[in-house]
Chain A
Amino acid sequence: MSFTRRAVKVPPNSASLEEARHRVIDFFKTACRSIPSIIDIYNLDEVATVAELRSSVAAQIRKNSHITNIKVIDMLLLKGVEEFNNIVEHAKQRHHIIGQYVVGQKGLVLDSGTKDQGDSNFLKNFYNSNYF
């Protein structure tokens, strides 16, 4: 994985929350710019649009929006850059991208919950597993 090591340089720590924020936004922009080429590399045009992938990246970043510790933000950013590099360097395969960013964390179950409405918590848990 020499190319990854080349690509990911550990930058110096951010001096302030403001600087960390800018770095994240810069990273988001870079990622957005390369989405079309990613769609190209992995043949994603049948399954996803640019806008969908963009919001999926944004969701990944927003997931950590509550974090205020600069060191943690830097660390997460580094992980993000690493992941991003893996993607653009084609170190991943198509199903990885589909699994993580197209189908998303929720998995294949598109359960919008209309069926279980009105059920007690017991029944909802019961359908999920035996252990609750």
Chain B
Amino acid sequence: MGLGMLASRVIRPTAAKLSRSSSLHFIRPIVSTPETSSAQSQPQPDPTPDPPPPSPRPPVGGARVHFPNPEDAIEVFVDGYSVKVPKGMTVLQACEIAGVDIPRFCYHSRLSIAGNCRMCLVEVEKTPKPVASCAMPALPGMKIKTDTPLAKKAREGVMEFLLMNHPLDCPICDQGGECDLQDQSMAFGSDRGRFTEVKRAVVDKNLGPLVKTVMTRCIQCTRCVRFATEVAGVQDLGMLGRGSGEEIGTYVEKLMTSELSGNVIDICPVGALTSKPFAFKARNWELKGTESIDVTDAVGSNIRIDSRGPEVLRILPRLNEDINEEWISDKTRFCYDGLKRQRLNDPMIRGADGRFKTVSWRDALAVVAEVALQVKPEEIVGIAGQLSDAESMMALKDFLNRMGSNNVWCEGNGPNPDADLRSGYIMNSGIAGLEKADVFLLVGTQPRVEAAMVNARIRKTVRANQAKVGYIGPAMDLNYDHQHLGTGPKTLIELAEGRHPFCSALANAKNPAIIVGAGLFEREDKDAIFSVVETIAKNAKVVRPDWNGFNVLLLKAAQAAALDLGLVPESANSIESAKFVYLMGADDVNMEKVPSDAFVVYQGHHGDQSVYRANIILPAAAFSEKEGIYENTEGCSQQTLPAVPTVGDARDDWKIIRALSEVAGVRLPYDSVGAIRARIRTVAPNLLNMDEREPATFSASLKPDCSQKMSLTDFRPAIDNFYMTDSITRASKIMAQCSATLLKK
């Protein structure tokens, strides 16, 4: 910075002189903006009037300060206004609290500090040079000045250096319009450059089917490198070379095999890393954003669906500190092309020749109602799919009950789910609450593929608190330090009886957390396993009044709401004697169990596995097209909003069931979303407390003892292919490419 300082000393008087005598100059000087020079020529107002007024500006982005202990507060002055910040904050954070947004490229609040872009320079009184505010801790009484001529000149200089090697391809760059470099060069850059030489060019890297690279655009902020090592936990990306030869890349030709890799697209401040499926599809200002919820796993990540007309063009994360912070998994981000393939758009009946024939809704519903009224009530079975919203599950249950059947359940919840105690199927400590834990015991769950965002939380905790992780299940690569304790129930028994070395870690832990996978719901001996886990929990004091570390990690978006609404089958084997099977988007049901003379109705949005067996198809809306409540694995209910219109002649799920009930003569008493929600309120009021986590009231200790025999077969992975778990992702071409290239062993 010595050189910059020198340069500014040299230029400043000249600039001031030149702007005053504006006649005939032959060289085009690089000057600061006119206000800068005039501000410079005027005497500065006294920056610290006594006493300094508090900052009149609200904090950037509504940031709030939390003081762990009040005596740690220090006072700094930003542009002459005093702010109180906790000790250890950086100058940049102090400025944010004072309401001043400092331009930055390399600083990111969730990553470590690199301090290598120099865009965040500010002036601090009594320092000889401008300081990089993101890397400088705030000290008591510091007088920070963010809009002095020196700071402005420094920013202009940095911008000029950055643009020196940045290509001028904004018109064909996908980042255009949401590019930090573009915005900041407009706001802080100089209006001309002195660069006449040739720009450098960098070879593009192949990072796989999701991330497109144009490495010439890279400004070496290293955000992507820090993200990959710190959050995603893959040491694939790195920095090669020095000076103008500096390049980002994988050291050897290698794909980025992380389930969070898509997030580097968001954090890259320029267009060096962009989305490959979205490349050249649209400009971001043409898109309509709809705030919605992801349904591809049970985490319920907050997303924004960007659409143009009837087409979903991309999915971006939305900030939610309690659930997904600001990341989403690759499945969430890139499954959207599945919404355009294999869609069901008309009601269809299978004819005598085994082919589907398009019919009108009127005829389709008449046929379904006729068949349903002919069979005995106990031969009617209804199964809700893993993507169902709470409204449609409520309607399905009410409809079947009115038909006289009680055999209704949600796939993934197993043959005899236990819906009585809510604490037995939700994540009691909450996703954000996992950060308080210091020992984790993962039982039959592989969070990396089952819930990538929960895995990112565990990783964060392991990195921040050196939390210990013990894992029971089939061998797998979790991307943090862990001990593989065993592969099945045998290890569980050892732990329960205190014979295992990991017991001491559990016993000494302050906040131990046990996470049980919902894959175990499918096992015959599920109750026995759960009672052993509860013994372990009791021994390690996992459930206390101030801390509940007993967690169940669900797999599917509909599971929690289904259990809350009481979608529990009357008998576990009802499907084998069924004559009328109503599948509401259920594709993972074992169709071989259904008797061959049963009449199968498939209501759903994709022509997936179950359609091969269906006798009649009723087209429904996908999550991007309807308003529906989903409850995630920690018991927080959120709702999706329609981003695009429905396809063809499809209808919302609950409307289909409501219409069918009328045709069948057992009319359901609700005609609108509001009315059906009022019905839900009488069954599970917590589903209507939107965006709020509803903890379970009773804990598992109230459970009766279990006398089931535990089998010693090992736990199996609940998900074989992270990228393809439901009808939408199975229809997606991008997900198919990912499974082909990234899962190769």
Query: A residues near B, CB below 8 A?
Result: 115, 119-123, 126-127, 130-131
Please report B residues at the A interface, Cβ cutoff 8 Å. 360-362, 621, 645-646, 650-652, 655, 658-659, 662-663, 667, 671
Q: Indicate if the CB atoms of B362 and A130 lie closer than 8 Å.
A: no
Q: Which of B360, B655, B658 contacts A130 (CB 8 A)?
A: B655
A120-B667, A120-B671, A122-B671 as given contacts; A130 in contact with B662, CB under 8 Å? no
What is the CA–CA distance of A31 and B51 in the complex, to the nearest angstrom? 90
Known pairs A120-B662, A130-B621, A130-B655. 13 more at Cβ < 8 A?
A119-B662, A122-B658, A122-B662, A122-B671, A123-B659, A123-B662, A126-B361, A126-B651, A126-B655, A126-B659, A127-B659, A130-B650, A130-B651
Q: Contacts A119-B662, A120-B662, A122-B658 given: A130-B667 contact, CB under 8 Å? A: no
**27 contacts across the A-B interface (CB closer than 8 A):** A115-B362, A119-B662, A120-B662, A120-B671, A121-B671, A122-B658, A122-B659, A122-B662, A122-B671, A123-B659, A123-B662, A123-B663, A126-B361, A126-B651, A126-B655, A126-B659, A127-B360, A127-B361, A127-B362, A127-B659, A130-B621, A130-B646, A130-B650, A130-B651, A130-B652, A130-B655, A131-B645
B646 CB contacts on chain A under 8 angstroms: 130
Chain A neighbourhood of B645, CB < 8 A: 131
Set of chain B residues within 8 Å of A122, measured between Cβ atoms: 658-659, 662, 671
**Least CB distance, A107 to chain B, in whole angstroms:** 15
Chain A's nearest CB lies how many Å from the CB of B218? 46
Alpha-carbon distance between A110 and B662 when the two chains are bound, in angstroms? 24
In the bound complex, residues from chain B placing their C-beta under 8 Å from that of A115 are 362
Question: What are the residues of chain A within 8 A of B662 when measuring CB–CB?
Answer: 119-120, 122-123
Report the minimum CB–CB distance from B491 to chain A (whole Å).
Answer: 51
Q: When chains A and B are docked, how far (Å) is the Cα of A121 from the Cα of B659?
A: 10
Q: Which residues of B contact A123 (CB under 8 A)?
A: 659, 662-663
- Closest CB-CB distance, A110 to chain B, in whole Å? 14
Contact partners of A130 in chain B: CB under 8 A? 621, 646, 650-652, 655
Residues of B within 8 A of A131 (CB): 645
Which residue of chain A lies nearest to B672 when distances are taken between CB atoms in the complex? A122
A35 to B651, CA, bound (A): 45
Complex Cα gap A122–B652 (Å) = 13
Cα A6 to Cα B671 in complex, Å, equals 57
**A-B interface contact total, Cβ < 8 Å:** 29
Q: Chain A residues near B651 (CB, 8 Å)?
A: 126, 130
Write out the residue numbers on chain A whose beta carbons fall within 8 Å of the beta carbon of B621. 130
Residues of A close to B361: CB separation below 8 A? 126-127
Distance in Å from the Cβ of B599 to the closest Cβ of chain A? Answer: 22
Interfacial chain A residues near B652, Cβ < 8 Å = 130
Kindly provide the distance from the CB of B316 to the nearest chain A CB, expressed in whole angstroms. Answer: 26
Residue of A nearest to B619 (CB): A130
CB distance from B550 to the nearest CB of A (A): 42
Closest 9 interchain pairs by CB? A126-B659, A122-B671, A130-B651, A130-B646, A123-B662, A127-B361, A123-B659, A127-B362, A126-B655
Q: How far, in Å, is A29 (CB) from chain B's closest CB?
A: 44
Q: Looking across the interface, which residue of chain B has its beta carbon closest to that of A128?
A: B361
What residues of chain B lie closer than 8 Å to A121, measured between beta carbons?
Answer: 671
A120 to B650, CA, bound (A): 20
Shortest distance in angstroms between A17's beta carbon and chain B's nearest beta carbon? 45
State in angstroms the CA–CA spacing of A106 and B613 once bound together: 39
How distant is the Cα of A3 from the Cα of B42 in the complex, in angstroms?
Answer: 76
A120 contact set on B, CB distance < 8 A: 662, 667, 671
In angstroms, Cα B648 to Cα A84, docked, is 37
A15 to B73, CA, bound (A): 85
Interchain CA distance A35-B434 in the complex, whole Å: 82
Q: How far is the CA of A108 from the CA of B662 in the complex (A)?
A: 27
Q: Separation in Å of the B341 CB from the closest CB of chain A?
A: 21
Closest to B662 in A: A123
A76 to B361, CA, bound (A): 40
- Complexed CA–CA distance, A60 and B265 (Å): 59
B154 nearest CB across to chain A (Å): 56
Question: What separation, in Å, do the CA atoms of A121 and B658 have in the docked complex?
Answer: 12
Chain B residue nearest to A120 in the complex (CB)? B662
CA distance A127 to B362 in the complex (A): 7
With CB as the reference atom, state the residue of chain A lying closest to B652: A130
B90 to chain A, nearest CB (A): 51
- Which B residues are CB-close (under 8 A) to A119? 662
User: Chain B nearest CB: distance from A130 CB in Å?
Assistant: 5
- Complex Cα distance, B658 from A130, in Å, reads 13
Q: How far is the CA of A74 from the CA of B655 in the complex (A)?
A: 47
Distance between Cα atoms of A119 and B652 in the complex (Å): 19
Report the minimum CB–CB distance from A23 to chain B (whole Å): 45
In the assembled complex, the Cα of A121 lies from the Cα of B652 at a distance in Å of: 17
Shortest beta-carbon distance from A127 to chain B in Å:
5
Q: Return chain B residues, CB-CB under 8 Å to A126.
A: 361, 651, 655, 658-659
B674 to chain A, nearest CB (A): 13
> Interface centre among B361, B621, B652, B659, by most A CB within 10 Å?
B659
Chain A nearest CB, measured from B661 CB (Å): 10
CB distance from B155 to the nearest CB of A (A): 51
Residues of A within 8 A of B659 (CB): 122-123, 126-127
Closest partner residue, chain B, to A118 (CB atom): B662
Which of B621, B663, B671 has its CB near the most chain A CB atoms (within 10 A)? B671
Rounded to whole angstroms, the CA-CA distance of A126 and B361 in the bound complex is 9
- In the assembled complex, the CB of A124 is this many whole angstroms from the nearest CB of chain B, namely 10
- Closest B residue to A121 by beta carbon equals B671
CB distance from B659 to the nearest CB of A (A): 4
Expressed in whole angstroms, the Cα–Cα distance for A27 and B658 within the complex equals: 51
| Listed residue (A115, A122, A123, A127) with the most chain B CB atoms within 10 angstroms of its CB | A123
Complex alpha-carbon distance, A115 and B366, angstroms: 12
Instruction: Name B366's closest neighbour in chain A (CB-CB).
Output: A115
Task: Report the bound CA distance from A127 to B663 in whole Å.
Answer: 12
Task: Return chain A residues, CB-CB under 8 Å to B658.
Answer: 122, 126
Give the Cβ gap from A118 to chain B, nearest Cβ, in Å: 10
Q: Bound complex: CA of A126 vs CA of B655, how far in Å?
A: 7
A59–B652 Cα gap in the complex (Å)?
38
Cα A121 to Cα B663 with chains together (Å): 13
B residues near A127, Cβ cutoff 8 Å:
360-362, 659
Q: How distant is the Cα of A120 from the Cα of B667 in the complex, in angstroms?
A: 10
Which residues of A have CB within 8 Å of B650? 130
- Chain A's closest residue to B656 (CB) is A126
CA distance A128 to B151 in the complex (A): 64
Please, how many angstroms separate the alpha-carbon atoms of A100 and B130 in the complex? Answer: 77
Q: CA of A119 to CA of B655 in the docked complex: distance in angstroms?
A: 15
Distance in angstroms from A132 CB to nearest chain B CB is 9
Chain A residue with the shortest CB-CB distance to B626 = A130
A88 to chain B, nearest CB (A): 40
In the complex the two chains form, what is the Cα distance from A75 to B671 in whole Å? 44
Q: Which of B360, B650, B651 has the most CB of A within 10 A?
A: B651
Question: Within the assembled complex, what's the spacing in Å between the Cα atoms of A126 and B659?
Answer: 7
* A48–chain B nearest beta-carbon distance, Å: 28
Q: How far is the CB of B642 from chain A (nearest CB, A)?
A: 10
Cα distance, A127 to B277, chains bound together (Å): 37
